[in-house]
Structure 1
């Protein structure tokens, strides 16, 4: 019998340890891509509207900044809170002697972040999955750093 649905392509690298030292780019989306994180402010005659973080956006910001406290081996290089998703550029570090530190998998880290936000808000707002990219070299890192920096400016006036 032929399958009704095409097989999904795995979204993780096979045989890769997602807790190993290195850099990762994560994208975490809200359910139905709803705008939970931005709100429009300040529109008046002669002055265009601006955006700022909503209350949910501030909770997401706090959750992101808690990551290095919960997981000392994880350094947040840069992040962007978009209206309906988050971008995180993270690095899992070694200790001062170059030995790998105990680190969470990216799945565990995202699960913890989503759980914290959901608990603070009081309702689930996330898509089930998330997207990850293992940073392969310095050029790849710089491209994702630039993307994370520029993406909010491109979406500033929805």
Structure 2
């Protein structure tokens, strides 16, 4: 559902009622899919890969539509920090791909927190403290990206559902 909704977002007028409705449905489906899979004992490697793919597609499609509004509300250094965080995240994916010969995104607690924070951030576009919220979300995202890179560099076997660096087995 999130993959189809994400693609649909790319064609909706940003900030319209239909855009926000699809945006919220995508976010709710993201929160429910993992929980339901665990509850119904329906977890699978394909499901985990689809979840990561859907997350990436959602961020890309929603981001493409929302970035013009976000860019106009924040200082340039905040945008450059986001680019740096993306570079660390891409480095973690690259290390995972090289070490495990697959797309190796991790579902750590910090990555989940980052996803929730990124999802909620656009809902506060018009709040007085939007720039401060951006910095807070970036701090969480940077910690998650560095943690993921560290895990990818240090672990011998791939575990998509590792909770965090404190659960890392060398």
TM-score by length of 1: 0.27
Q: Which has the higher contact order (CA 8 A, sep 6+)?
A: 1
Which of the pair has more CA radius of gyration? 1
TM-score by length of 2: 0.25
